[in-house]
Amino acid sequence: MRVGLVVPCYIDVFYPEVGIAALELLERLGVEVDYPFDQTCCGQPMANSGCEADSRATEEHFIGLFSRFEYIVIPSGSCTHHVRNKFIAAPPGPERDQVSKHVYDLIEFLHDVLKVNEFPWSEFPHKVALHNSCSAVRGLHMASMSERVHDPYFNKPKALLEKVKGIELVDFPRHDECCGFGGTFSATEEAVSARMGYDKLGFIQRSQPEYIVSSDMSCLMHLQGCGRRLGTEVKFRHIAQLLNGDHA
């Protein structure tokens, strides 16, 4: 199996170890990975700010790089959600449809496509709180929504983490409430965004985890900043790092 790996621009700049973990994890699982070096951004920041026309060239560039792949994998729910459901600045056509219909968040790809049953190389004897992003839950349906009380419960990231030896997953109140990042929202509405982040950390820390883990590094980046201002000692890791056995 051969996939095109997208490493989101903010991960490339601030958390390259997450992109490396995603690559190594896929290769451990026998996947042939192609990483186009000319990739830049998926265009989500412009689109979320209402600058659709400004994101057209970025989307066209993305399509030109990735339309040849049967599977496109991104270690980010928000970027995956944008490419799958909001890729409308570029002109419609078969190449755009190919990209939008064949893009997967890393968790979706592991859970739904590869159907991974074990991670024998990974052991993590720590208390972990899992944060699922709004995009992952409500855009990609990677976990059930707490407000839909009659729907069956499921949680794909949690199902994968439970396969890591020694891990203790802890619950916390209002688990699928927004962390406050919201992309450009955190810049245009800084005070509201920070308050939401502090509230989310408060809920999470009631369960006294050692680590907060998510499939969206953008949420973790926001929560990490809030945590530093509050002086918390909790650590933050992308789920790819845990599944890959990269715990440093």
DSSP 86-128: ---SSPPSHHHHHHHHSEEEHHHIIIIIS-----TT-B--SEE
pLDDT for res 225: 96
Lowest mean pLDDT among 71-75, 107-111, 160-164, 184-188: 184-188
Whole-angstrom distance between the N-terminal and C-terminal Cα of the chain? 29
pTM of structure: 0.95
Region 180-197 average pLDDT:
91
pLDDT for res 33: 98
pLDDT for res 18: 98
Q: Is the pLDDT of residue 116 over 90?
A: yes
Token digits for 66? 């990735």
Q: Is the pLDDT of residue 248 over 70?
A: no
pLDDT for res 55: 93
Q: How confident is the model at residue 219 (pLDDT cuts 50, 70, 90)?
A: very high
Query: 169 or 45, which is more confident?
Result: 169
Give yes or no for a contact between 18 and 241, defined as CB atoms under 8 angstroms apart.
yes
How many Å apart are CA 226 and CA 232, to the nearest integer? 9
Region 64-90 average pLDDT:
96
How many Å apart are CA 133 and CA 136, to the nearest integer? 5
Please, which residues have CB within 8 angstroms of residue 238's CB and are 6 or more apart in sequence? 15, 18, 21, 75, 213, 214, 215, 217, 220
Give yes or no for a contact between 113 and 196, defined as CB atoms under 8 angstroms apart.
no
Domains of the chain: 2-113 (3.40.50), 127-243 (3.40.50)
Region 140-166 average pLDDT:
96
Q: What is the mean pLDDT of the chain?
A: 95
Q: Is the pLDDT of residue 186 over 90?
A: no
Region 177-185 average pLDDT:
90
